[in-house]
Amino acid sequence: MLRLTNTVQPYAWGSTSAIPQLLGVEPDGSPQAELWIGAHPSAPSDAEGVPLDERIAADPEDLLGGRGERLGFLLKVLAAAAPLSLQAHPDRETAARRFAEEEAAGVAHDAPHRLYKDAEHKPELLYALEPFAAMAGFRAPAAAAELLAGLQLQELPPDCADLLEALLAELRGADEEQALRAATRRLLTAPAEAVSPLVEAVATACEDVDDLSARCVVDLAGHHPGDPGVLVSTLLNQVRLQPGEALYLPAGNVHAYLEGTGVELMASSDNVLRGGLTPKHVDVDELLRVLDFRVLPPPLLAPRRVSADEQVFAPADVDDFALTVLRVRPGAATTWTAALPRTLLCLDGSVRVASARGELVLERGQSAFAAAAEHPLTVTGDGRLAAAAPREG
């Protein structure tokens, strides 16, 4: 097993305290948004002096157990103190095709307008470590129309009033998917001089409404005044996770994390298509091409309970990853026999992970990589462990 040292990404929306608290270090006052644990080439973990992606490239059979030549998943700790961008991720076919097109066109990988950083899809799940707020997936358009039509709005300029009237007409259409597609396009392509005052008027009126969507509008408008993504939020499900709950975001699911700390697990990709709530590049046409406009319930992911102390969060539609959360109790031992590459993160307490090749003790915030070839692994101690691996079966 290899002990890992990981990169912290200082994105502006990050919490200044949550990740330092997990790692047992003093906060320095700067935002610390994501802790990356894995072999993604943008920020591979240091595996005892050698980047993990280089170790895997040198011996993929031993480390990955015949599962290709790259680690197919990326484990993160995500700590949001402010909303992330409105975004979605492509499916594998789209990512491969569009990446090849941008490569052929010579678009630099670090160009601000580059959309596809790699050829992989990026489904992801998030397991809440504390109460966590997000918006994810489209809800019934009639619900958004009811909220917007019921607001006591100040008098609007003619172009704003026309925009609202057209938006409500679209949301009341008989075909829900078409209604959501048309409304999303209208909001994200409307002239700023029409949409920005409407955003502000809706946000002001929402201050007097006791509703999760209305409160989300107020909060988003405070962070991103005039941004059309504020109004798109009225089209989306509001999701509130309690600690220990999880959500899953497949390709095409429009979403934004709002606040909280969680363990995030995804296919190892950095492909993000943004639609608003960000100063970064937005490509509305590309986003609309990948979005799933079906009306769906909040995308909660129920675990499979292996035992009273072990649960596995495994999306059924992808085999790139599954997340195991294990409560490790004194005097008990858990053994994992499947020869899978695993990244391990101690969430609480102290756990000991042993294989035929040796053992490591992981304290809160510490992490390791276990090669496929060194299984079985036996876990003992007193604490809580998160383990990422490809989905079995």
pTM over 0.75: yes
Q: How many CB atoms lie within 10 A of CB 288?
A: 18
- What would the DSSP string read from start to end of 333-345? -EEE-S---EEEE
Give 149's contacts (C-beta < 8 A, 6+ positions apart). Answer: 168
Rounded to whole angstroms, how far apart are CA atoms 320 and 124?
Answer: 10
Rounded to whole angstroms, how far apart are CA atoms 388 and 273?
Answer: 25
> Are 347 and 386 contacting, i.e. CB atoms less than 8 angstroms apart?
yes
- What would the DSSP string read from start to end of 116-153? -SSS----EEEEESS-EEEEEEE--HHHHHHHHHTS-P
CATH 2.60.120.10 applies to domain 2-135+240-290: yes
Rounded to whole angstroms, how far apart are CA atoms 324 and 306?
Answer: 10
Rounded to whole angstroms, how far apart are CA atoms 186 and 205?
Answer: 21
The dihedral formed by the CA atoms of 256, 321, 380 and 385, expressed in degrees to the nearest 10:
-10
Rounded to whole angstroms, how far apart are CA atoms 280 and 48?
Answer: 35
Rounded to whole angstroms, how far apart are CA atoms 285 and 275?
Answer: 9
| Reduced 3-state DSSP string for 18-59 | HHHHHHCCCCCCCCECEEEECCCCCCCCEECCEEHHHHHHHC
- Residue 340: predicted pLDDT: 97
Rounded to whole angstroms, how far apart are CA atoms 113 and 115?
Answer: 6
- Residue 146: predicted pLDDT: 97
Residues 102-119: b if buried by 16+ CB within 10 A, e if exposed: beeeeeeeeeeeebbbbe
Taking alpha carbons only, the member of 348, 241, 260 closest to residue 301 is: 241
- Residue 126: predicted pLDDT: 98
Taking alpha carbons only, the member of 62, 11, 1, 50 closest to residue 33 is: 11
User: What are the CB-based long-range contacts (under 8 Å, 24+) for 11-19?
Assistant: 12/82, 13/80, 13/81, 13/82, 13/83, 13/84, 14/79, 14/80, 14/81, 15/79, 15/80, 15/81, 15/261, 16/81, 18/77, 18/79, 18/130, 18/261, 19/77, 19/79, 19/261
* Beta strands 273-276 and 246-249, pairing class: unpaired
Known catalytic residues are 274
212-223 and 192-206 helices, crossing angle to 10° = 130
| Low-confidence residues of the chain: pLDDT under 50 | none
Q: Tens digits of per-residue pLDDT, 212-269?
A: 999 999 999 999 999 999 999 999 999 999 999 999 999 999 999 999 999 999 999 9
User: Where are the alpha helices (H) located in 253-328, listed in sequence order?
Assistant: 284-290
Burial, 279: exposed, middle or buried (Cβ in 10 Å; 0-12, 13-18, 19+)? exposed
Taking alpha carbons only, the member of 263, 246, 233 closest to residue 304 is: 246
CATH superfamily of 304-389: Jelly Rolls (2.60.120.10)
Residues 120-129: b if buried by 16+ CB within 10 A, e if exposed: bbbbbbbbbb
> Are 218 and 206 contacting, i.e. CB atoms less than 8 angstroms apart?
yes
Taking alpha carbons only, the member of 244, 247, 229 closest to residue 297 is: 247
- Domain boundaries, given as residue ranges, for the chain: 2-135+240-290, 139-236, 304-389
304-389 shares the fold of 2-135+240-290 = yes
Amino acid letter at 113?
H
Q: Determine the 3-state secondary structure of 5 from DSSP.
A: strand
Q: Tens digits of per-residue pLDDT, 242-253?
A: 999 999 999 999
